[in-house]
Each structure stands twice: as structure tokens, then as C-alpha cells.
Chain A
């Protein structure tokens, strides 16, 4: 089932949580809503679920306007951040709840309830916990039970609020791969909220980057990571170096370094910032064409890569560079050495408030 969000706004008092958001989600997709806390991503998820009513705008499920449909009738599966398992019910009764509260005519027979619940518990590989209570389970187990409970009502879409937020690092990694596999298996349109870029990049088919109640960019993980549409997306996804300078008619100047910025050809003269990923900078002992001299302050070996911290010789600004360990060993540089940096890839953004950047599904 597809989901369309049309121009949705939502305020809490004076705080604007969502500001004219539009978004299309295709059937069977697994979409991540990614953003910092307070960006409005959870509000967007709750509006889709029907847990919040938008001040304006519409939500469509498969083209059908569901904005006024009550949450009880919306047939969404919702997994809460802290699971919200019913603490006085067994795991079995938790999963069976959605079936047992149906109107008498639609309520499945007890045998069918038993069968469906056990099937779901098997799906999340926790059938052996059926008679336990939520407080007897680990965080990861509770998370999977919350998912089984949400799936019990055979929802049209699955919505997950920070599904791995409350788990420790190791369980989190396991569980997100498991979720990815589960999604490929059941192929249910799914949306999850996260503030963890790694999680979004690893799990999602598409990422929706949300900031200050607006959508900054929508795209595949590769597109969002490699071609960030806005300065915010550049900073939020991964480490990035910023070079401050000016753009004049398509030429950007940053200290001694110039870059071609054809996308800003019409700009007469404006302050601009170039964003360069640490692994997109070449490092050499000898100066190259338009390279930038810098002095090594630290070199830190982190697993297979070496993270170098340098200060530019022209203006003292800090630069971070990441090189593979072999490359670093070949270079043979140490703290105090002068090296020459050449950005392989950079993106230049004007330093005007990004007014033109809005929702661009």
C-alpha cells in the first residue's frame, strides 16, 4: 500500500513541528525518517499513524484520504519507542490483544487466535516466551514482541518510532539486519524514525532527511550520502570539512584554493562554503596543481583507516582527512610534517539561509 503525505502542518503551541510537508511512499518500501531530535520526524510518523491530527494537510493510503479516519480504524501497525507492551499481560496476550478487541462479528475464534499468535511469535523467533511477562524480557526481545503485536492485526503499513533507540550497540546492529530481512520477507510498506544516520543508511530503501519541520532531501542511501541536496544533509550524514570562502560567477575561492562551481554561475559575489568528506581529500608530500598546504597535528589509527587532523597553513583552519592504512604507511608522514591536500570532490553551498530548499519529493 502506498502512503501520500500532502502539505501537512502541525503546531504544538508556538512550536512548529511540521511545516507543509509532502512525501510519497511507494508500496512495499522501507523508508527511514532521519533527522535530529526535535526535527519533527516522530510527529510526522504519528500523523501518518493517526496518533496526531494534522492542523492542515492530508494523508492518503493507496490514494484514499484517511486524514479523518480514527486511529482504531486505520489498520496501521505501530511500534513504540519504549515498546509500550501491556505490562500486566503475558507475551501471548499482548500479541493477541489486537485480535481480541475486535467487534464480536469480526473476532477470530480462539483456535485461530492461538494459531495466529504462535505463527507471529515464531516469525520473531520468540515462541518460547509466550507465557512470560514483558518485564522478564530483554530489550531486544521486547522490541521483537512489540513488532509481532503490531503485525497481529495484519496492518496495511508498519510504522516504527526509533525502533532501536533504547538498545545497546551490539543488539541494535543485529536487530536492524534482522528487521531488514523480515521486511524483505513480508514486504509490508514500512516507515521508521531514527536519528542514527548509520542505521538509516544500512536498513532503508529510501531516506527522508527531516530538519526543523521540513523535508531536506528524499533519496536512496547512496543518493543522500553522495549527493546531499543541502548543506544540512551534508553535515548531518557523515563527517565533513567546511571551507569558508566566496563565489564569483561560477568560481569559488577558499584561501589559496579555487574550485569550479558552475551551479552558481549567475551569482555575482556571495559568501559560500565548500563541503568535502574526509575521505574525498587526496594527500601528498609534494605540492600539486592548486593543492593546499597543511601541517599534520595528529594521526589516529582507527581500524583499517587512519584519521589525520591537520591545520591549513594559509589560515590555520582545521581539516580532517581519512586515508587507508596502506596509503598512510606509503606516505610516511608524522605530526609536524607539511603535506599538500587536494579535494577530489567538493560541493559548494551559498551561505544565504537556505530559503529555496523545501520539500522536494
Chain B
């Protein structure tokens, strides 16, 4: 280890890093690699057959489609919420601000049954919607609602600090140069928020793709129609189809890692942007 680092007078480097690497390997790295190693026992054709079965493909379409829609809704409304929380003062603002993190703190199963009760045909919101001919619970629309709930804080919490740090002088400069309020927003403020907004969008999307607990209650879980990919993994597991479950899991893991990479790149972009100022 001595060649790996610069000398420091503080002790405990070997102990701290050693424990960190050991614990990381035991809890995270070795178990995760198990998924990949298990997949390598399959032939390519078998792997492909597992991950491209019509029922699995339908689940990808639902999972990614609903996640994308939910993340888009949250991008628009999350930006609005962040704006309102930072720029306006109204009674109960601090309480609302604290409650934005509810989806992080509320167990997903609780969120799932609560949303189902609300949007079911006899629920507070389900009943009026049913009269309009809109059915939410036990349809793909319900999946989207659940994913919107769990992804809600991401955009708000990435945009909010950037908006708070935004210099007042920028807007005042734009206005002194004759820009209207809308021009000031679209040409000065929005470009400054864009990296944070994209980061929040990607975080919400990544979270939604893997989500399970809040979705299964409201989804109805009908194969080909309202079955999300994490559920197909569980279904395969319950049928002792370990190879099939793992193959689909590997597809999702690779997607997650790609999204993680995208998030890291976006955050690097965000830091560069902020560093410039």
C-alpha cells in the first residue's frame, strides 16, 4: 500500500482502506459479480432467448416507457416546484419543502398500497377519474403514477441548490439590457439550470427503471400488459428459472450502469458549468 499513496502523518490508512475494500467486496462486488458469472454459464443463444422472449420484451417496453414518461413529468413539475420553493414565500413553505423528500422516506410498499387505494375505482381520485372514462389502477397508467411518485424529489433536489446559487446580478443584467421576463428565463436562467435538470431527470429515470415495491400493487401485473421487468425477474425466480431471472437481471444491471455513467458525466458537466462562474 505504501507505494499507492503519499506519506501522511495521519495513521490508520491501511486499516481504513483495508476494511473498506473488504466490506465493499463482501457485500457488493462479489454478490454483484455472481449475477454476471451465472450468466456466463448460458450459451449466447440461450441468453438471447431468455432476454428477448415476447413477455420480457413487453415488460421492457412498459418499464422504460413508463419510467421515461414519469421522469419527463417530474422534470417539468420538479422544475416548477423548485422555482416556487426558491423564489416565492407562502405560508407553509418550509413544511412543503421538507415533505418533498417523502418518497425517499416512505417505504415503497406503503406508497404502493396508498396509491392503489386512491386510484382504485372507488378511491378518492379513482372515482372521479372513472366517471371521465379514465382508468388508472391496474393499467400501465397506474405504473406511471407510481413511478412519478417515487421519482418526484430528484429533479427538485438537484435544481433547487443551483437555483439558490444563481446570482441575482445575472437576471438584473439581462433586465437592464432590455430582456423581458420570459427572455430572461429562457435565455439566462434555464441554460444555467439545464445540467442540473438533466441530472435530476436521469436520476429519476434510473430509479424508476428498477422500482418494484410501489408499482406491483397498482400495476395489476398482467403479463404482456402491465408487468414490469423487475416483476418478471421475481416470477422467473418463483418458478426456479434462475438462469432466466439472472439473464434479465443482467440486462437491467447493464442498463443501470450505463445510466450511472451518464449521471456521472452529467454531474461532471454540472461542476464544470458552476466552476466557470
- Decide if A and B are genuine partners: yes
Closest-CB distance, B5 to chain A (whole angstroms): 12
CA distance A70 to B11 in the complex (A): 11
How many residues in A have their beta carbons less than 8 Å from beta carbons of B? 7
Does any Cβ of A come within 8 Å of B272's Cβ? Answer: no
B7 to chain A, nearest CB (A): 5
Q: Which of A49-57, A202-210, A228-236, A298-306 contacts B (4 or more CB under 8 A)?
A: A49-57
Residues of B within 8 A of A50 (CB): 9
Using Cβ atoms and an 8 Å threshold, which residues of chain B touch A70?
9
B168 within 8 A of A: no
Is B6's CB within 8 Å of the partner chain A? yes
Query: Which parts of A53-107 form the interface with B (CB within 8 Å)?
Result: 53, 70-71
Report whether A71 and B9 are in contact in the complex, using a CB–CB cutoff of 8 Å: yes
Taking the complex as formed, is A12 at the interface, i.e. its CB lies under 8 A from any CB of chain B? yes
Minimal beta-carbon separation of B245 from chain A (angstroms): 48
CA distance A71 to B7 in the complex (A): 12
User: What chain B residues lie within 8 Å of A12 (beta carbons)?
Assistant: 6
> Within the complex, what minimum Cβ distance (angstroms) separates B10 from chain A?
10
Measured CB to CB, the nearest residue on chain B to A71 is B9
Q: In chain A between 21 and 65, which residues have their CB closer than 8 angstroms to a CB of chain B?
A: 50-53
Q: Compute how far the CA of A104 lies from the CA of B2 in the bound complex, rounded to whole angstroms.
A: 32
Give, as a whole number of angstroms, the nearest-CB distance from A159 to chain B: 14
Complex formed: what's the CA distance from A51 to B9 in Å? 6
List, in ascending order, chain A residues with CB within 8 A of B6's CB.
12
List the A side residues contacting B9 at CB < 8 Å.
50-51, 70-71
A70 to B9 alpha-carbon distance, docked (Å): 8
B59 → chain A closest CB, angstroms: 51
What is the CA–CA distance of A214 and B29 in the complex, to the nearest angstrom? 48
Within 8 Å CB of A71, what residues of B? Answer: 9
Point out residues on A near B: beta carbons under 8 Å. 12, 50-53, 70-71
> What are 7 A-B interface contacts by the 8 Å CB criterion?
A12-B6, A50-B9, A51-B9, A52-B7, A53-B7, A70-B9, A71-B9
Shortest beta-carbon contacts, A-B, top 4: A71-B9, A53-B7, A51-B9, A50-B9
